[in-house]
Chains A and B, each alone.
Chain A
């Protein structure tokens, strides 16, 4: 079993409440980095000193936050109203177990039930229940009991144990603990020809907010973003982008709704994959967005590219990745970094 992925996915870290995952990652990287600090947003920023061969300042980003729920009110019967933090579809929530990170560090288990099927009309059975009509049940008998344990504003995550079946791993929050696991692995390897700045960033799921300040704080020459990208490789009639498939290798971003990835860097990543015979796939251009969009626009502009592990059913309680894809992301990211040079970014001025 991949112990790193198990630990990282089972930890909690809803956008703006990343303390638990941050402490876990801090403990995992501390022996392998020269410095680390936490900025005012909560980004965990570490430096792994290089051999000094090349004078490049390189940022590798992986957001550590995940989607979740925020408690918005407590009803008179002691059940809790809530709203999604990040993109969670209403279709996803019924019949799920959640864990509330209550203030003071206590964890409260709750469940999201619904009106029993026995009481539903035929029309109701095919209707999507709105999140406004759902409640989290923590077992409280009345309002005072619940308000003593949980506060409005507390954040909750899904509770899903990590499982493996051969090369397949299932669990919550592969988006983006797969990226975190890849970055942690990169930090454990031999020093790079330059100083490697690692940023485990916050609040990606609510607008790429952590990466923006991390990029400003580090001011790198270029950045590599390690992500987890949704795979829609299921039987379907409208086969539309963006798509990648599980088991077909590391996914390389070219363009999404919010970014055109730096073409020089993208070419470099692809060439590296080919030269090292690392399986890769190009993520079909289309919707979505990664921290690349925020990093690219920070300071005077930072060339950035994204490599991702494909996952089915992201932003649900239980997603799925192929561990070989994850390993290929690590291989490709490492080879990409070791091959980096500043010539890559020199403008070719036309001589014609």
Chain B
């Protein structure tokens, strides 16, 4: 089996996907992902020059839009109904220091 990903790569992917993995899980995940990626080989062997991609399997459907008309939404308590923690009508999260993102 080809080694597409190292454990280090997998740790990087996990960090991006925000999934905490311990050392054993990283090792298992590395093996699993390498096996799956191996099975994707047919995709890489195709001659696809000049073939348009199909991002939407919906035929010629295009320009699907709605009018700018207000629809009823949630009351505040419904919006917050599943919140693990809330305060002052808002969702509460711990300190976000160090979070990335382009902003």
- Answer yes or no: are A and B bound together in one complex: no
Residues of A near any B CB (own CB < 8 A): none
By a beta-carbon cutoff of 8 Å, the part of chain B in contact with chain A is none
